[in-house]
Amino acid sequence: MHYQDALAEEIRDSAARLLAEDVGPGDITAELIPERQWARARVITREDTVLCGVAWVDELFRRLDTRVTLRWQAADGDRVAAGDAFLELEGPARALLTGERAALNLLQTLSATATRTRHYVDLLAGTGVRVLDTRKTLPGMRLAQKYAVTCGGGHNHRIGLFDAFLIKENHIAACGGIAAAVDEARRIARDLPVEVEVETFAELDQALAAGADVIMLDNFSLEDMREAVQRSGGRATLEASGNVDETSLRAIAETGVDCLSSGALTKDVKAIDLSMRIIEQDG
């Protein structure tokens, strides 16, 4: 399945899951409100953020009640300043309140991922080095967080175990060496990229000789990364991995590697503080 098709399916499925887990057989508190009550509400952010999750929220409220209208003042990938309202909703009060938590949960998580990514990208400004995510995503949110990374200006590593080879220590041992592992990968799927994780210069040389497309430098020191760049001579894309955070990534980028990957973009983000407030009621 094409990535965009898979993402569209994920948006539909995740909206349904969010509503199912929160609303269940029905929102009993919303039933306190008269059925004909109409309302307007605004969503604001209490901290600077990079917005992400528009399509999910649109789908969520569409499923709840098609009479709800959403007017976005920002798009995915836009910076929104603390205190700004970026969404206005209008429709049945019951539907607005029923969808509030599911919508905010989604927005606060995806916006956090996009915001963290943009922070990393900004720290690397001028280096030309790409920021990559990993498979260390929150359970059930793989495609959503991968999309959020792109909204923050980052790039996706492989989506899963199916769209690229990443040959690591145990694969190498089981296959009988780096050359054998790369040869087998080419035989299985010649059109897919092959990446090899290396821990030593000897393994780096073997991966280069085997024709790996990408070589991951696992926990190399800054000095060793610079040496790896010289040894490679552009024969493969070099990816730095391990101990990559906001305090180290600029120095890593300046060694000359092509990209760096960090699980911190997705696995331990702190949710953005968002709030929805009813601003007008009628009926």
Active site residues: 101, 136, 168, 197, 218
| 85-92 and 165-167 strand pairing | unpaired
For the CA atoms of 111, 116, 121, 124, the dihedral, rounded to the nearest 10 degrees, stands at 170
Q: What's the number of CA atoms in the CB half-sphere (13 Å) around residue 181? A: 24
Length of the chain: 283
Give 150's contacts (C-beta < 8 A, 6+ positions apart).
Answer: 156
- Neighbour order of strands in the sheet with 85-92: 69-72, 85-92, 38-45, 274-282
**Which residues are paired to 261 by β-bridges?**
132
Determine contact, residues 132/239, Cβ cutoff 8 Å: yes
